[in-house]
Amino acid sequence: MQNFNINQKKAVEFSGKHLLVLAGAGTGKTKTIIGRASYLIDRGTDAGKIQILTFTKRAANEIVERVKSSISSSTTANLRGATFHSWCSQLITKFPNLFGASSFTVIDPDDQIGAMKIICGNYVKEYKAVRLKPQQLIDIYSFARNTKKSLTETLRSKVFKGKTDNDTNEEILQIKPYIEILLKAYQNKKMQSRYLDYDDLLLVVANRLQKDVQARDILAAHYEHILIDEMQDTNPLQWDLIKPFISMSCLFCVGDDAQSIYSFRGADFKNVHLFSERVPGSEVQVLDKNYRSTQYILDVSNWLLQTSPIDYNKQLISARELGEKPELINVESQWEEANYISERILGNFTEGNKTFSDHLILSRSQYYTKPLQAVFIQKKIPYVTYGGRKFMESAHIKDVVSLLRVVNNPYDEIAWIRFLTFWEGIGEIRASKFVKDIISCLHHDNLADQLPHIIGGQDGSRLGDLFSAVLDKQGDVRAAVKMAYEEMSLNLAYKYRKDWNEKRKADFPVLEILAGNYASLGEFISEGVLENSKQLNGTPVLESSKLTTEDHKDHVIISTVHSAKGLEADTCFVLNVSPKVYPSAWNLDDNDEIEEDRRVLYVALTRAKNELIITRDTSSINAFHNTINDTGEDKEITSSYFLEELPMSLVHQKNVQKHNSRGADIERPNDIDLSMGMDFN
DNA sequence: CCCCCGTGCATTTTT
DNA sequence: TGCACGGGGG
């Protein structure tokens, strides 16, 4: 077994029932959870009775893989790691008589919004009255269910920023009935189409376990130990899911309140503090020695937390050397930032003896990394992105999957619309009419027979044949995918003619291979949408360990901070740490949101092992200072930019001047040097 | 009436 | 990148 320090060892070999491990950044959180699983298996626990729960598929896979490689025997074969969502999805499939949901379709957020759009089209009066976009309505619905808050409370915090004045109350009262109508219509649509959205997966399981003691006992008997990563990110709904296991299973939860960055999904960092209260007889183990970063990097991170009004009571002490001071780089544009970073990376690669994978680039948002990706492609720096569009969410894949979906679940209205409008000459209006007829036909007739008549004409016989052909291949998922792609490829080429490139085409063989891993269409569709993916130079690549094509290549990682939890790298760039970004301009009037943004930055800073490079935009710094001078209210405003009062002794600051054009790599001297030719000695 | 395509726009964070 | 919008064409 690996070498653990005293506290890690206490956690790994804990002999009580429930344990909360409070572990600061870089203190060996993942190592401890892996050590715990290995220890339990070593001591004879059946690996199949250990469930590891995480928030990302990547974290789950990594933990399971590392446990497996730490124990040589085959006793780990049954060890399972999953996200909360995929775990629930598996439970629903595995115990159909417990949950009563069969032949359902798991819909992703895109489809949720699609469904809500249909609703808004049907309820124009209500939709106009609420003045919220379908996206926002879905967010409200999801937030309310995740936090178990009432619609009124949810509206107050999501739409009205927590305001409690009379005008706000009035307005809430006014729009609430309309929103209720829209949300109820959405729920009905889900039932009618046999959809489960992501929240439903958790709710179906949680509700059943809460109501039915017998179901709870049956299920809990399958899980002796539940190991939960990133406990600070669990929300009330996820807590409902865990709670039923307290009496029979042992909980081992790992978390850090200072890294809680999911309040927008209903998580509350105070949850970790409540653990001892909510889980009677539980114990707490603190890990505070940081093995990841040098002390200078931790100094900046510690400073950031200290300037918060919240007392996190956290000072990370490095077990390593002082190292190099973090660098604060001021750039004049996003292109320079991208150029500067790519030059640093290429320098480290050619002269610094570092690999591309020693570099991690962190951004607040997806969107912001676009120019950087463009420069990387131009300079041929290999990279992958984390947190990008998922493989199964890309448009051309969804087109093909829509056919599989309607075969699997003919009530799947969104898939029907996508499948029907895929063909030339069929638009949304005709498609919705067809769908109506299709659904009503399902009650009394055989759809495969009726489909040609419903659609009519040439399209009718063509699509009818296609539907029947895939229906025949239902038992062989891979063959069904192949068939669907072959029949649709001509139209795919037409639909995406502008960018129907090799990369897109190459996705379909991948889809086939992926399909081969599932026993039924239904499993493929519901598990497949939850399957995470990453992108290699802009193209989605499956992360599944079954596909190893590009996996071992050396590449830089570009990630959002949210997707980077648990990651670490020798050199870490934190992009655009400018005013209005940290904290975000959206959040300036909400203290809780400001503090969450602070934690986001904290997570970013603590990823670096040896080199931390923070970039920020010169012009927005200047604009920020001008506002302070204009208003004179510096107190409020300075608190709204985290780095404003950063002691310069903690970093090395440097200005990077203009490159002469976008993405060009011609070096220009930083300034004319007027001191030349003079020797002051 | 319905479909298609060009243009202009704004874009937090995730399962 | 994906969207809402408007005009041209079937």
The predicted pLDDT at position A191 comes to 87
Asked which of A503, A532, A561 is the last residue of a domain, the reply is A532
In angstroms, the CA of A500 and the C1' of B1 are apart by 32
CA distances (Å), origin A375, targets A274, A343, A353? 46, 10, 22
> Same domain, yes or no, for A226 and A348?
no
> Same domain, yes or no, for A424 and A510?
yes
**Residue A573, SS3?**
strand
Q: Are residues A422 and A495 in contact, defined by beta-carbon separation less than 8 angstroms?
A: yes
In angstroms, the CA of A147 and the C1' of B13 are apart by 17
Cis peptide bond upstream of A583, omega within 30: yes
> Known binder of ligand: residue A37?
no
Residue A211 binned pLDDT confidence (cut-offs 50, 70, 90): confident
Asked which of A166, A193, A220 is the last residue of a domain, the reply is A193
Task: Kindly tell me if the per-residue pLDDT of A675 is higher than 60.
Answer: no
Residues in reach of strand C, judged by a CB distance below 7 angstroms, are A 110, 133, 394-395, 499, 538
Q: What is the mean pLDDT of residues A475-496?
A: 86
Task: Kindly tell me if the per-residue pLDDT of A667 is higher than 70.
Answer: no
In angstroms, the CA of A115 and the C1' of C2 are apart by 17
> Same domain, yes or no, for A455 and A601?
no
Residue A666 binned pLDDT confidence (cut-offs 50, 70, 90): very low
A420 nearest nt, CA–C1':
B3
A532 nearest nt, CA–C1':
B15
In angstroms, the CA of A496 and the C1' of B9 are apart by 22
In angstroms, the CA of A495 and the C1' of B7 are apart by 19
> Known binder of ligand: residue A522?
no
Domain range spanning residue A278?
6-101+202-287
A529 nearest nt, CA–C1':
B15
A112 nearest nt, CA–C1':
B15
> Same domain, yes or no, for A282 and A330?
no
> Same domain, yes or no, for A15 and A91?
yes
Residues in reach of strand B, judged by a CB distance below 7 angstroms, are A 55-57, 83-86, 109, 139, 198-199, 261-262, 264-265, 364-367, 387, 421, 424-431, 530, 532, 560, 562-563, 584, 586-587, 593, 600
> Known binder of ligand: residue A23?
yes
* CA separation for the pair A188, A170 (Å, rounded): 28
The predicted pLDDT at position A538 comes to 41
> Same domain, yes or no, for A94 and A111?
no
> Same domain, yes or no, for A397 and A518?
yes
Q: What is the mean pLDDT of residues A621-631?
A: 71
A198 nearest nt, CA–C1':
B15
* CA separation for the pair A186, A243 (Å, rounded): 29
> Same domain, yes or no, for A512 and A422?
yes
Asked which of A170, A193, A216 is the last residue of a domain, the reply is A193
Closest residue to C10 (CA to C1') is A425
Strand order of the β-sheet with A569-574 is: A539-542, A533-536, A383-386, A556-560, A359-363, A569-574, A608-617, A327-331, A652-655
A370 nearest nt, CA–C1':
C1
CA angle A212, A218, A219 (to 5 degrees): 90
Helix axis angle, A166-193 to A134-147, nearest 10°: 90
Give strand C nucleotides closer than 7 A to any protein Cβ. Answer: 1-4
Closest residue to B11 (CA to C1') is A367
Least confident of A43-57, A71-85, A136-150, A171-185: A71-85
Position A347 in a domain: yes
Q: What is the CATH number of the domain that holds A216?
A: 3.40.50.300
Give strand B nucleotides closer than 7 A to any protein Cβ. Answer: 1-4, 11-15
Position A295 in a domain: no
DSSP per-residue string spanning A600-619: HHHHHHTTEEEEEEEEEEHH
The predicted pLDDT at position A674 comes to 43
In angstroms, the CA of A175 and the C1' of B9 are apart by 28
In angstroms, the CA of A110 and the C1' of B9 are apart by 20
> Same domain, yes or no, for A520 and A449?
yes
Q: What is the mean pLDDT of residues A576-582?
A: 88
> Known binder of ligand: residue A30?
yes
Closest residue to B1 (CA to C1') is A429
Give me A393's structure tokens.
């969410």
Q: What is the mean pLDDT of chain A?
A: 83
> Same domain, yes or no, for A109 and A96?
no
In angstroms, the CA of A498 and the C1' of C4 are apart by 21
Least confident of A284-288, A324-328, A589-593: A589-593
Look at strands A533-536 and A539-542 and give their pairing. antiparallel
Position A167 in a domain: yes
Q: What is the CATH number of the domain that holds A450?
A: 1.10.486
Task: Kindly tell me if the per-residue pLDDT of A109 is higher than 70.
Answer: yes
A433 nearest nt, CA–C1':
B2
Position A301 in a domain: no
In angstroms, the CA of A161 and the C1' of C5 are apart by 31
CA angle A330, A336, A341 (to 5 degrees): 85
Closest residue to C1 (CA to C1') is A367
Task: Kindly tell me if the per-residue pLDDT of A656 is higher than 60.
Answer: yes
* CA separation for the pair A38, A32 (Å, rounded): 10
* CA separation for the pair A19, A10 (Å, rounded): 10
Q: What is the mean pLDDT of residues A527-534?
A: 63
Q: What is the mean pLDDT of residues A320-337?
A: 88
> Known binder of ligand: residue A27?
yes
> Same domain, yes or no, for A454 and A599?
no
pLDDT in tens, A370-391: 888 888 887 888 888 886 666 7
Which phi and psi (to 5°) does residue A265 adopt? -105, 10
In angstroms, the CA of A426 and the C1' of C10 are apart by 13
The predicted pLDDT at position A457 comes to 79
**Residue A382, SS3?**
coil
Provide the CA A32 distance to its chain's centre, in angstroms: 23
A389 nearest nt, CA–C1':
C1
Position A662 in a domain: no
Task: Kindly tell me if the per-residue pLDDT of A630 is higher than 70.
Answer: no
Position A357 in a domain: yes
> Known binder of ligand: residue A281?
no
> Known binder of ligand: residue A24?
yes
Strand partners, A363: A560
Least confident of A339-348, A451-460, A614-623, A651-660: A651-660
In angstroms, the CA of A498 and the C1' of B8 are apart by 19
Position A18 in a domain: yes
pLDDT in tens, A141-175: 999 999 888 888 888 888 877 777 888 888 888 88
CA distances (Å), origin A318, targets A299, A326, A610? 9, 15, 12
* CA separation for the pair A17, A225 (Å, rounded): 9
* CA separation for the pair A345, A351 (Å, rounded): 10
The predicted pLDDT at position A387 comes to 67
How many domains does chain A fold into? 4
Strand partners, A614: A328, A574
Task: Kindly tell me if the per-residue pLDDT of A254 is higher than 90.
Answer: yes
In angstroms, the CA of A446 and the C1' of B4 are apart by 33
Task: Kindly tell me if the per-residue pLDDT of A8 is higher than 60.
Answer: yes
In angstroms, the CA of A675 and the C1' of B15 are apart by 59
A135 nearest nt, CA–C1':
C3
> Same domain, yes or no, for A651 and A546?
yes
A425 nearest nt, CA–C1':
B3
Task: Kindly tell me if the per-residue pLDDT of A623 is higher than 60.
Answer: yes
> Known binder of ligand: residue A125?
no
Position A660 in a domain: no
A538 nearest nt, CA–C1':
C1
Task: Kindly tell me if the per-residue pLDDT of A298 is higher than 90.
Answer: yes
In angstroms, the CA of A559 and the C1' of B15 are apart by 17
Q: What is the mean pLDDT of residues A125-134?
A: 81
